[in-house]
Amino acid sequence: MNFRRPKSVVRREIDPDEIFLDSENLPGFDVYQFEGRIEKPVSISSIVALSAVFLLMLFVLLGKAWTLQAKDGAKYVAMSQNNLLQETVIYASRGAILDRNGERLAWNAPADIGADFSLRAYTTDPGFGHILGYIKYPTKDKQGNYYRKDFQGVAGVEKYWNDELEGEHGLKIVETDALGKVSSESVIRPAKDGANLELSIDAAVQKKLYESIAGLADRVGFTGGAGVIMDVHTGEVIALTSYPEYKSDIMTNGGNDKAISGYLTDARKPFLDRILAGLYTPGSIVKPYVAIGALEEKVIDPKTEILSTGSISIPNPYDPARKSVFMDWKAHGLVDMREALAVSSDVYFYEVGGGFEKQAGLGIDRLNKYFRMFGFGQNTETGFFSGPAGTIPSPSWKDKVFPGDPWRIGDTYFTAIGQYGFQVTPLQMLKAVTTVANGGAYIHPSIFKSATSTPISGETIPVDPADFKVIREGMRQGALVGTASGLNVPYVEVAAKTGTAELGVSKAFVNSWVTGFFPYKDPKYAFVVMMERGPRANIYGATYVMRELLDWMHQTDAPYIKS
């Protein structure tokens, strides 16, 4: 039998849930305990808010990445490369400079917090600028990196013994992170401090000598001056000073533009170390070496007398009716060699130097021989004591300076009394008079005490000891009754020779010199004082300075004038 579905019946799918419900057919069930219920889906607004947060975080990260790599990338790359492993200098402590008694002349001031090295400090006493010199510190560029890592000695002891003073710098490796923070340090090579240097200089004597030179120069109008004292056996220099000077601390520290500019523009040349590098007309202080030549060459007996009436005259080669007159500074009467040295007779040394009438002379060639024998006109020193050779007038020299003008007897006369084109340094004069004092040992000076210096090397000048004795006796008379009588003091016997060198055509200015040694009977110390370019009419000169120093030594019980 066929059944048909009524057309009004709608056909639909049966939901599976309905099947399950029907199968249980549990009327009145608790729908809230029904574990299989469907959860409500997340809303669109929540999804949008969460997406916005994630997008914001993304933009922040992208911005930081752009800053690190694009905008500041090069800077951080450099920081990373430079700071990862960096070599750093460990600066050695620079050695101190001391005088012979242990007094500090140059030392290191306490370093500031964070500083890489200590600053240099110097004595505030005057008179030490040229001997100590100055330094330049290690220097940084604008980025703070050292482009000059070492101390650089520029002048004086600081320059010539820079390696000993500086020591050896150390080295450490510093490891840093990308932010510049130190993460570790490792010392590769420790620093080795510089050596202390003990000079032969006596600081108190040096200061007093400088003050005496400066005081006289300021009072009477000398342009400058210099003084030096040396042990005639060891070569130890007790004092060595030059006026005017610069201040070591001003030159080392820089920054004081006014003071440095003043040094550079000062016509008196404060950077010139007059003892070592100054060239000056010597005048009569060369007469002892002319006398030695005359004795060695048998030109005259030391007891032979020559008459000085105040001048000598010789025929003028261009006009026989007229005579060329060569003046003495005064009429001395009859004088032998000792007396001639004591009173500084020009006529005596004109005649033994160039000859006159019956008196034979050395002549210019033999004058040059003996001047060179005592170190004039040549330079054998190097390093700290180096300086110019100076000039001994000669026919070859004149031909270069005054071409076409022949050498004349008058040129020989003037050379024999230390004039004309003669130029020497005070250091050369010191070594020459030291040789007279010690009997022929040509000593090379030392700036260090014997205990710390290299052995003194010397040469022996081949002169008869008896001839040296005559010269010493003449210089002793000079201090007793002659031109150096200002040094006739009761507490020590001094032998000396003065010189007054006329300058320029008008001869309105002079260099004033005194050289000598003490004690006379057993010489221990030689000295030279030079006052530069003062008024001719002035009666005070180098002898006044040396007398002031000797008096001070006596008053302070200094050991140098004790027999």
CATH number, residue 397: 3.40.710.10
**Structure-block tokens of residue 306:** 């020559």
Kindly report, residue by residue over 74-124, the tens digit of the pLDDT. 666 655 555 566 778 889 999 999 999 999 999 999 878 778 899 999 999
Peptide bond just before 519 cis, omega within 30 deg = yes
Q: What percent of the chain has pLDDT over 70?
A: 86
3-class secondary-structure state, position 383 = helix
Q: Which helix (H) or strand (E) holds 313?
A: strand 311-316
What's the confidence (pLDDT) of residue 363?
98
Residue 276 has pLDDT above 70, yes or no: yes
Do 186 and 308 belong together in one domain? no
Distance CA 88, CA 173 (A): 6
What's the confidence (pLDDT) of residue 81?
53
CATH of the domain at 166: 3.90.1310.10
Residues, the chain: 563
Cα distances (angstroms) measured from residue 495 to each of 230, 359, 528, 558: 15, 28, 12, 19
Report CA 90 to chain centroid distance, whole Å: 25
Give the domain-ending residue among 198, 222, 247. 198
3-class secondary-structure state, position 254 = coil
Residue 464 has a CB neighbour count (10 Å cut-off) of: 12
3-class secondary-structure state, position 266 = coil
Residue 55 has pLDDT above 50, yes or no: yes
Do 302 and 414 belong together in one domain? yes
Do 472 and 336 belong together in one domain? yes
Residue 31 has pLDDT above 60, yes or no: no
Instruction: Evaluate whether 325 touches 317 at the Cβ level (below 8 Å).
Output: no
Do 426 and 277 belong together in one domain? yes
Q: Is residue 69 part of a domain?
A: no
Give the chain's domain count: 2
Confidence of residue 27 (pLDDT cuts 50, 70, 90): low
Q: Is residue 483 part of a domain?
A: yes
What radius of gyration do the chain's Cα atoms show?
45
Do 344 and 386 belong together in one domain? yes
Q: Is residue 43 part of a domain?
A: no
Average pLDDT, the chain: 88
Do 300 and 167 belong together in one domain? no
Q: Is residue 144 part of a domain?
A: yes
Q: Is residue 126 part of a domain?
A: yes
Confidence of residue 51 (pLDDT cuts 50, 70, 90): confident
Of 337, 338, 426, nearest in space to 375 by CA: 426
3-class secondary-structure state, position 298 = coil
Confidence of residue 212 (pLDDT cuts 50, 70, 90): very high
Give the domain-ending residue among 179, 198, 217. 198
Q: Is residue 335 part of a domain?
A: yes
Do 187 and 234 belong together in one domain? no
Residue 257 has pLDDT above 50, yes or no: yes
Q: What percent of the chain has pLDDT over 90?
A: 68
What's the confidence (pLDDT) of residue 320?
77
Q: Quick check: pTM over 0.75?
A: yes
Kindly report, residue by residue over 469-518, the tens digit of the pLDDT. 999 999 999 999 999 999 999 999 999 999 999 887 778 899 999 999 99
What's the confidence (pLDDT) of residue 110?
84
What's the domain range around 425?
A: 203-561
Give the domain-ending residue among 150, 171, 198. 198
Do 283 and 324 belong together in one domain? yes
What's the confidence (pLDDT) of residue 563?
61
Residues near 91 by Cβ (< 8 Å), separated by ≥ 6?
116, 117, 118, 138, 169, 170, 191
**Structure-block tokens of residue 558:** 């200094």
Confidence of residue 22 (pLDDT cuts 50, 70, 90): very low
Q: Is residue 256 part of a domain?
A: yes
Do 169 and 294 belong together in one domain? no
Do 189 and 207 belong together in one domain? no
